[in-house]
Chain A
């Protein structure tokens, strides 16, 4: 009895944070800085900043397989290998799919990384604010539920997140892409500058092109080094030059001496106390030993990634919450969204043959959304932005001839004759109730847990938008004087953007949403969900900056409520 009491005391904190990625790291930082004793539970291994980025300083010839995956890696990573992010240089960031299977009612590419830092180590780092237009779109066209917040509610938290994370970019005064607190922008290259000038003139600045806003430091920031232009971010940055849990939020949280990080801790479910009508803690499976244990706290922040968090909530059933924790609305697991992309256009630039690049910029250009705004009307709802850029690659001709020999070698060692410029669309997917996930009890993962089933597809609105994503790109490249313009659609399946969102949405009405305007569960007041699952719509901008801002805002509210003894 005594042992149990001690154990319970030992395992009791002020707050539990489930997950250590972008939003979990922010939750840990904010809650500890506000005085709470926090345990951050991470299901995967620990990754120490810098020392565990083993491949970060390797030269190309130090990789055994020249970047290629082995047949054995393809066998154990049948999902991760479907697209480029899973590479020899960063293979340890990606899950062994055989250990954590899921059910694809329709093809859904679920890219996951189980380790401290989560996807903050592998993310694309593009960081854009949502505008009021985005927060109002659901209400305007009736798809999804109304956002319970507007831009003014989140704007100060965007400021706060940007100032800490270090986002480089250019303010443009563009109504659909609010300005921010930016470090100096990276440079556009010579072709991009020309394309920008010509597009903005041609469209009378009703379309703009700007340098990508990215969480890469262009100047030293808060003790972190600036970008060295190696373009090897996905191996982990030894200079701490991009925002990750390890480079940024974790050191801040650790500095408070109030954070405990526990790797290999798979949260199986949240424990609900029917007397207090609150969560009292979580049940954890140790990923190495399979032992189960419990941790207790006054508040729980759920930051296990959109589908990870949704699984935990769906798996947290009790008499009071038979369909998952806080799921009285029946919306938990529904409205799954991702950005659809992989289509656009490319062309060659002429007149820049005497120019080349020095350094490798891990960033591109951005054309913010301009469709269905002002005088621009389309035959579909919402819109898309473009990411892309110009580059002068290596000589690529003569592939068809299967050439070889001294001349071939000589050519292969030269820069390409021309620069190329590409624009790739990133489109908004509407929230559809029938795009959903649910628990499939017919399968078990390595730890004996049931698995998630995913049933998600794009529909007519996205299909129509994709036509424009190609045609508008071609039209703009044409206006910018590019030659040999070709459109492409390389096919898209939900999940590919690794921007899955929406399955535990916020809203004003507890009847049609899971969380309130503070990311707090309507039905369980001490549970907060601040990762991508909270999003009622996804706009077309990369979302992580919004998760950071919402998390800081929710943590501020949670601690105030805790102090007022409201939770």
Chain B
């Protein structure tokens, strides 16, 4: 069991709900690095990504969301370090397209759009992703990275979920308390 479980644990560690695309990149991606094909991100890209991530995992009464957890800089760092050049390009093109779409539709950049407007745009991207059978797109990659980054961030682990660094014992029949949060790691 250990290996299968551990594989699943990796998924849990990453926050669960990881798409097949991401799992594929994790375990199968094999590309020769070609720095010339790598995408660069600007400070304004980070601002857009922070807003996007906040729509995926917003601040709620329970705890802060993805923006506060630092996803604006986490996502582009991950794209550059952990994704092959072809997916980097898909991502960067899609990021720009999202901003363009927002401007066409609402006459505003994504960062200045209202929450409601941003949600309309992200919903459209989500529907396109489902229609395209979740082939890798800006939306699928950025959503996966938001989930991964948020649930391994300090806010995600200690506020959204509950984190125990050193349990010291094992109880496999503990009562589930009302409103109990999920453990941050398994």
Residues of A within 8 A of B (CB): 57, 59-61, 63-72, 74-75, 78, 81-85, 87, 124, 126, 186-190, 192-193, 228-231, 341-342, 344, 353-361, 364-365, 386-389, 391, 393-396, 398-399, 401-402, 404-406, 408-410, 412-416, 422-424, 490, 496-497
Contact = CB atoms under 8 A, between A and B. Distances in A.
B97 interface: no
Interface string B103-141: 000000000000000010010001001100010000110
Contact of B169 (A61, A229, A388, A415): A229
B54 to A, nearest CB: 10
A82 B82 contact: no
Nearest to B57: A409
5 contacts: A66-B148, A405-B119, A409-B62, A412-B17, A415-B181
Contact of B17 (A81, A386, A398): A398
Contact of A74 (B18, B29, B185): B29
A387 B2 contact: yes
B72 to A, nearest CB: 15
User: Which 6 pairs of residues, A with B, have the shortest CB-CB distance?
Assistant: A189-B172, A359-B167, A387-B1, A359-B170, A190-B173, A388-B1
A401 B56 CA distance: 13
B176 interface: yes
Q: Among the interface residues A65, A402, A496, which one has the most CB atoms of the partner chain B within 10 A?
A: A402
A65 to B, nearest CB: 6
For the side of the interface on B, what is the size category?
A: 35 or more
Given A59-B154, A228-B168, A364-B2, A355 B176 contact: yes
Nearest to A232: B185
Contact of B182 (A60, A394, A398, A402): A394
A61 B148 contact: no
A413 B170 contact: no
Contacts of B168: 228-229, 359
Contacts of B175: 354-356
Contacts of B149: 66
Contact of A358 (B33, B161, B169): B169
A454 B164 CA distance: 44
Nearest to A407: B60
A409 B167 CA distance: 25
Given A71-B84, A357-B172, A413-B182, A61 B60 contact: no
Contacts of B151: 412
B43 interface: no
Interface string B17-40: 111000000110111110000000
Given A60-B185, A342-B4, A83 B27 contact: yes
Contacts of B55: 404-405
Interface of B: 1-10, 12-19, 26-27, 29-33, 55-58, 60, 62, 65, 74, 77-78, 81-84, 119, 122, 126, 129-130, 134, 139-140, 143, 147-149, 151-154, 157, 160-161, 163-176, 180-186
Contacts of B185: 60, 231, 360
B19 A231 contact: no
B168 to A, nearest CB: 5
Given A75-B32, A396-B17, A413-B160, A126 B2 contact: yes
Contact of A412 (B8, B15, B153): B15
A359 B171 contact: yes
B151 to A, nearest CB: 7
Contact of A67 (B14, B60, B74): B14
Contacts of B56: 404-405, 408
B157 A59 contact: yes
Contacts of A341: 3
A393 B8 contact: yes
Nearest to B38: A71
Q: Among the interface residues B4, B184, B186, which one has the most CB atoms of the partner chain A within 10 A?
A: B4
Nearest to B140: A402
A399 B6 CA distance: 20
A404 B148 contact: no
A60 B149 CA distance: 10
B115 to A, nearest CB: 10
Contacts of A364: 1-2, 5
A139 B56 CA distance: 62
B27 A186 contact: no
A125 B179 CA distance: 36
Given A61-B152, A422-B1, A357 B16 contact: no
Contacts of B164: 358-359
Nearest to B130: A402
Given A189-B172, A359-B170, A409-B160, A71 B83 contact: yes
A68 B16 contact: no
A358 to B, nearest CB: 4
B166 A230 contact: yes
Contact of B170 (A353, A360, A414): A360
B170 A357 contact: yes
Contacts of A71: 29, 31, 33, 81-84
B19 A361 contact: no
Given A75-B33, A229-B169, A405-B58, A414 B181 contact: yes
B74 to A, nearest CB: 8
Contacts of B130: 401-402
A361 B62 contact: no
Contacts of A229: 167-170
Contacts of B2: 124, 126, 364, 387
Contacts of B183: 357, 360, 394, 415
A73 B157 CA distance: 26
Contacts of A409: 57-58, 60, 62, 65, 160
A193 B170 CA distance: 15
A406 B60 contact: yes
B171 A399 contact: no
A367 to B, nearest CB: 10
Contact of A413 (B31, B58, B181): B181
Q: Among the interface residues B1, B147, B174, which one has the most CB atoms of the partner chain A within 10 A?
A: B1
A57 B165 CA distance: 8
Contacts of B30: 74-75, 78, 81
A126 B169 CA distance: 19
Contact of B173 (A57, A230, A355, A406): A355
Contacts of B81: 64-65, 70-72
B152 to A, nearest CB: 4
Contact of B26 (A69, A355, A356, A402): A69
B8 A356 contact: no
B91 to A, nearest CB: 14
A410 B8 CA distance: 21
A68 B141 CA distance: 14
